[in-house]
Structure 1
Amino acid sequence: MAEPHIPVLLRPLLAACAPVCGTWIDGTFGAGGYARGLIAAGAARVIGIDRDPLAHHMAAGWLPGFHGTIDLREGTFGELDRIAAEAGAEQVEGVVLDLGISSMQIDTAERGFSFQKDAPLDMRMSQSGPSARDLVNEAGEERLADILYLYGEERASRRIARAILAARPVETTLELAEIVARCLPRQKPGEKHPATRTFQALRIAVNDEYGELARGLEAAERVLAPGGLLAVVSFHSVEDRMVKRFLQLRAGRMGQGSRYAPEAEAEAPAFEMVTRKAVEPDETELAANPRARSAKLRVARRTSAPAGRINDEEIGMPMLPTSRTTGGRPRR
């Protein structure tokens, strides 16, 4: 079959996790590139998880050739420990998470993830529940502005939110992209499309991607056997910050007290860092796969310490204000 997606940073991931053996979880299965790479590297079994029906449909043609070594399950990686238990694995030797959107989702125009072609404004990874169209046409101006600023780091969030409300109903990707483009300075050669941040923010909100990441990291800590490995590939600064802070906190590398209050009794570290800093793609990988340019890989090894919990705020998860009197973003 044609390869619709090139797994990013697979070679350094396998090198950092060597020797690969036992049962692994690929929590973001997609086209199965990581799962196949893990089997080829020595894993006895990979439990794949994906909420996108397209991933399951595409895998149906090639999975039988792996003779049961790859077990694909429907669900989200935020519940990967429960899914692993249902698959007969109370603990596993490794967890791989490839965050964000896959190439096959971007390249399927009718899914509404891309502003390159006109399509219904959808963006649902699970193809169920409220869509980006629902969010864009039903959310209030303040809520939209908060989403664009906190999830997309869009500095013109208020201006864009106001323009969206004035243009409602907004039905398609190109409609939305044109609304955003009119709110921002003209694009210079080589710059990202003006709607990039807005589309990212809406996709993250529709799919609860930051909440899913926080739940997935904790679930991975619960399911990994002592010595098991957690490998996470992220593609933008907020995701990478959340992963980095989670691992630092759970490896005991960040104090949890303050100068005004003593630290609580320190928990035993649940992870040891394998990669001292984020691993980025080399020139060879970038030449073969330009979409890898923003990717960062972090790997950590599970200790025998009990699993714990992390507060969302501690790991830098953007938090939408629950009211206009609590928290919030700078007004622009």
Structure 2
Amino acid sequence: MQQRTLGPFSVSAIGLGCMNLSHAYGAPVSAEQGERVLLAALDAGVTLFDTATLYGFGANETLVGRVMKQHRSRFTLASKCGMQGVDVNGDGKLVRVIDGRPATLRQTCEDSLRRLQTDVIDLYYLHRWDKNVPIEDSVGALADLVRAGKIRSIGLSEVSATTLRKAHAVHPIAAVQTEYSLWTRNPEIAVLDACRELGAAFVAFSPVARGFLCGDLRDVSTLDAKDIRRAMPRFAPEAYAANLQLLDGYQQVARDVGCTPAQLALAWLLHRGEHVIPIPGTTSVEHLHDDLGAVDVTLDAATMQRLDGLINQHTVVGARYNAQNASEVDTEAFAG
């Protein structure tokens, strides 16, 4: 497996986003299937595993901790704080809450360490910037955790270049994690270059466009009732029907290159810069191995230009988030 630099770590060029195993895309897979995917990734050379307190309201960290604790020295462990499930009404139902207060982040870290069954988290992200708390205060709390030996490096998720620079002035930021793919180009506005300038890795989540670029999802009515894509404007029936028109040309490029559609999406990201590290998620060992094959795909300048012209912010229909979710992120957005 090819390697890339992430803060003080050398990690596989493609990591594993663990969210899908417990969260967001319908019913979680069985514990046994989750274990199969995690261990298959490790055996295939993946050395960056990405989880979060939010995923399954702790269930994903618990799964990763149980399965991976005996292999802890073989991989870089990333998790996230600042967004978690809270029993707001006292009825036992957890509600997603963004909370970047220092005391909350310290407690969340202790909870994550316990679930992950480890003494230290290699890369700890602020999952969302709590806009009620200065970014300097939240990052300052994470810097205290570095000094205490609880975490080794700090990351940010879904932030602008301006916020990144403010945070970096408090403590070096090892990585920024944001959605990035052919159909989500927001990082190209500013933060992708800011990461390169500051020496931070750019970790791309949803690198196959939440499954769109795999080419298999043709009918959004088949999505699980609890699938988060149902609330995303790009997956609304009319918008998705328009976006499907992009797939024929995209799949032709994949055929011309001699790779699968998922591999093409990931290879495009790998060619966007040496500091870019995609973290696709999957519940299938077969899909996992398909994804990892992207490291062997070479794209020439003409193919990159062809892809850029085919799927971009001008050709994709619909915003990536609904109004509520868009208000929770700090990422730059294109006008309109």
The two structures have a TM-score, normalised by structure 2, of 0.30
Higher helix share: 2
Larger Cα Rg: Structure 1 or Structure 2? 1
TM-score by length of 1: 0.31
